[in-house]
Structure 1
Amino acid sequence: MNKIKTIMAEINEVMNLVDHEQLVSALPYLQKNKRIFVIGAGRSGFQAKGFAMRLMHIGYTDYVIGETITPSIQKGDTWVAISGSGTTKGIVADTEQAKKIGLQIVVLTSEINSPLAKLADTVIIVPGATKTGSGIKSVQLLSSLFDQTVHITLDTLTLMLAERDQTSNEAALNQHTNVE
């Protein structure tokens, strides 16, 4: 089979298993009057950064953990953690600290029984293959399938937020970098 068709079939299989109600359940935790902090390691970190950029485009105040301009977290903030396995030590430890401080925790993972998922106030399961072997099996290397499908899941969540908040594409474009 053509590799593109194989990869697209894998992506479709996973996306058909992402529970829309889990996305709906995450919406109340993501509000324009709250600060949102995102965290992920490796390629999950890239997905977290992409999500943070889209949140900014639709008018949210959000930060990426580990960046030099990120302020300290405070009770009442929202924490979005991404880890396919849900066992990435640094992500779990930082999320434990965020939970102790009193942040609301949103987790995206492929493992419902993972340490990270157990810390969450709401979990979105994205069952793409991870480097530890969890999730839907894939012909792709390491966690590529999780990374691809978590990106689509986060873009879907962003679209749901934009629609809820009545943020148009034009308004988002006005927040986009406009350097010539």
Structure 2
Amino acid sequence: MVEVLEQIEEEIHHVLCKVKAEDMERFAGELHHGKRIFVDGEGRSGFSAKGFTMRLMHLRYTVYFVGETITPAMEAGDVFIAVSGSGKSQNVVNDAEKAKQKGLRVLAVTRKPDSPLAKLADVILEIPGTVKGDAGEERKSIQLLSSLFDQSLHIVLDAVCLELSQRDHVANDQATATHW
């Protein structure tokens, strides 16, 4: 079992080393307290996206997860963050199209920079972890489906939040005060 954990750790490390710092900075640069942020994702990637949404709330951003009952209508000037490893998740792509039509900045977090989702995006944050459609030489993981992408996604989005907390001068005790 320890060998499997070491292999997973090595895979995650390999992916994180390939995430471009300038892409993370550009992505974080789009997020400001004066803008409402809408986050979207499905499946396991969606769970990581929800965790990211929660952490942005802890940092005192006005943020909503698409599809929740309290999510208001999007308006021009808002920011839309779409998470899809394949970049083909139909609901996420449709929501990104709607956001684009309404005048939102669209940020895509994906493994596939040439995907339908990425083509809609103003900013792309590529996380080069294996996703479920990868096969043959593209498949660079011992793990099932999109596990490597999802694990790396969680870490990268947490790193973005850490950068935002430092940029916005939000200390841990301040973030804790917003926690349920």
Query: What TM-score do you get using the length of structure 2 for normalisation?
Result: 0.96
Match in the other structure for 1:58: 59
For structure 2, which runs of at least 5 residues remain unmatched after alignment? none
Aligned structure 1 segments of 4 or more residues deviating by more than 6 angstroms? none
Deviation at 1:136, TM superposition (A): 5.6
CA distance in 2, matches of 1:174, 1:107: 30
CA distance in 1, matches of 2:144, 2:68: 28
Q: What is the CA RMSD across the aligned residues, in angstroms?
A: 1.1
Structure 1 residue 104 corresponds to structure 2 residue 69: no
Deviations 1:95-120 (A, max 9, x none): 01100100011110001101101111
Deviations 1:121-146 (A, max 9, x none): 11110010101117661111100000
CA distance in 2, matches of 1:39, 1:144: 18
Match in the other structure for 2:89: 88
Q: How many residues align?
A: 177
Match in the other structure for 1:129: 130
CA distance in 2, matches of 1:118, 1:171: 37
Deviation at 1:48, TM superposition (A): 0.9
Query: Helix, strand or coil for the counterpart of 2:18?
Result: coil
Structure 1 residue 154 corresponds to structure 2 residue 157: yes
Q: Indicate which of 127, 141, 145 corresponds to 1:142.
A: 145
For structure 1, which runs of at least 5 residues remain unmatched after alignment? none
CA distance in 2, matches of 1:119, 1:56: 26
Q: Indicate which of 163, 168, 179 corresponds to 1:176.
A: 179
1:127 to 1:136, Cα distance in 2 relative to 1, 3 A? farther
Deviation at 1:44, TM superposition (A): 1.0
Partners of 1:40 and 1:81 within 8 A in 2: yes
CA distance in 1, matches of 2:29, 2:150: 24
CA distance in 2, matches of 1:151, 1:143: 12
Deviation at 1:68, TM superposition (A): 0.5
Query: Helix, strand or coil for the counterpart of 1:2?
Result: helix
Structure 1 residue 165 corresponds to structure 2 residue 168: yes
CA distance in 2, matches of 1:104, 1:28: 12
Query: What TM-score do you get using the length of structure 1 for normalisation?
Result: 0.96
CA distance in 2, matches of 1:97, 1:168: 35
